[in-house]
Chain A
């Protein structure tokens, strides 16, 4: 199993055409891990019918008083 930094460097090169030095790949691996972790930790709240466009409707809903 590849370590995270190598995996990120390979993904960047193969999928995006970006060459990353090992130190930068390690930094990005940690950053991507943190951001993906934050989103994945919250996805239990999501259901099949959750649509990103629901956000605009929520803002437009009159505030309860």
Chain B
């Protein structure tokens, strides 16, 4: 039941009485039990609570009541979305037993739509790490090859959606933490426009650059989840009051004649990735989309400006724990924050002020005259966990690989532009690769339309890993 069935299809099947929430939830739980020893995607499985919710949803349906578009559909989320009374670890030792005193707005909205919450998913400690390593709860492993990384920091979200353990998951993205695991695990991941989705009740990594978004099996599934979680929120002053479009309705909008910018040259990108991107370009052109040469600015200043903001904000929020319990952090997480204590406040404020200029310039140059930008999500084939384990084997080689992970993702956290990662092929090891579509502010519907059209003529998103016999 679970293999190859999309979130939207299973929601329809439950709503129409062709299956039950209990049957679907039990199927998910069985798959989780089978896969968990291999990939460690879950931090906590709430079996009894999930089944109780599923029974309740089935009783409600029998009584003629459907809560919403996720009625009875099992999901699970990165262990950083608070639910009152439940432990939310943030993938850390420091919050191993911390019980949330509020419920995240996005969790409230999914509950209201009828979702069943299966538990909490693995993640990088405090959402700080691009690979999926975690010394506190164990590494999350790639379901295509457990020796390789999942990408992070939403590692469990990427792995669990790819392995068809859940129908969708929420992640967070401060430098690529939704899009990287989506690309590496072979699923769809949306980092919406900054402010499109409330951050209230989500563990912060960097207030100015954090974005909450969904990871799913298909673009249509993703559009449904974003429709539900997006929108203004009195509890988060940065949540935009802009009306939320009907993203699912937008999936069918014509893409013929849309202009997609693609940089003429992409330096530092592996041949595997370029070759797959070339094939994606051809598929998109067959849909009638016009590919236009664009000039990509030097991304390094954007990357460094974002780094300045992240380090300063992280240092500020973690200071009490860094002073009282430094030994409870992994070295790499502590190291990533330390510079934030030494950057002058004026530099941090200037970085925030520059954000407007960088975004204006990007929209006026690279994005001028195009509907979206096409880039790889990751510049290289998926590395092994061993080769990128900076905690256990610190060294220049591993650090050099890590530095390249978010090259094409982090700049769009600074700019705040929506960016969608979609499966587009495989590397020479057979692991998934993703393409990234970047749009203008609040143009998520355009990205979904292009990506949905692409998924109608390709089957990369239908590939799923299998458990060895």
Contact assessment for B195 and A42 in the assembled complex, using a CB-CB cutoff below 8 Å:
no
Contact assessment for B352 and A52 in the assembled complex, using a CB-CB cutoff below 8 Å:
yes
Taking CB atoms, residues of chain B closer than 8 Å to A40 are: 347, 350
B325 at the binding interface (Cβ < 8 Å): no
B442 at the binding interface (Cβ < 8 Å): yes
B328 at the binding interface (Cβ < 8 Å): no
Interface residues of A in 1-53 (CB under 8 A from B): 8, 11-12, 15-18, 24, 28, 31-32, 34-36, 38-43, 45-46, 50-52
Contact assessment for B305 and A59 in the assembled complex, using a CB-CB cutoff below 8 Å:
no
Contact assessment for A60 and B242 in the assembled complex, using a CB-CB cutoff below 8 Å:
yes
Q: How far is the CB of A35 from chain B (nearest CB, A)?
A: 5
Contact assessment for B357 and A46 in the assembled complex, using a CB-CB cutoff below 8 Å:
yes
From B307, B363, B441, B443, give the contact of A35 (CB < 8 A): B307
Contact assessment for B416 and A55 in the assembled complex, using a CB-CB cutoff below 8 Å:
yes
Contact with A along B349-366 (1 / 0, CB 8 A): 111111111111001000
A contacts with B, residue count (CB < 8 A): 33
From B323, B343, B353, B442, give the contact of A59 (CB < 8 A): B442
Contact assessment for A42 and B193 in the assembled complex, using a CB-CB cutoff below 8 Å:
no
B385 at the binding interface (Cβ < 8 Å): no
User: With the chains together, A41 CA to B160 CA distance in Å?
Assistant: 43
CB-nearest residue of chain A relative to B414? A55
From A12, A34, A51, give the contact of B341 (CB < 8 A): A12
Contact assessment for B194 and A59 in the assembled complex, using a CB-CB cutoff below 8 Å:
yes
Taking CB atoms, residues of chain B closer than 8 Å to A60 are: 240, 242, 441
Q: Which residues of A contact B (CB under 8 A)?
A: 8, 11-12, 15-18, 24, 28, 31-32, 34-36, 38-43, 45-46, 50-52, 54-56, 58-61, 63
Question: What are 24 pairs between A and B in contact, CB < 8 Å?
Answer: A8-B342, A15-B341, A18-B338, A32-B339, A32-B343, A35-B307, A38-B304, A38-B308, A39-B304, A39-B305, A39-B308, A39-B351, A39-B354, A41-B301, A42-B305, A42-B354, A45-B357, A50-B356, A51-B353, A52-B356, A55-B356, A55-B416, A58-B441, A59-B193
Q: Which residues of B contact A (CB under 8 A)?
A: 193-195, 238, 240, 242, 300-301, 304-305, 307-308, 311, 323, 338-339, 341-344, 347, 349-360, 363, 416, 440-443
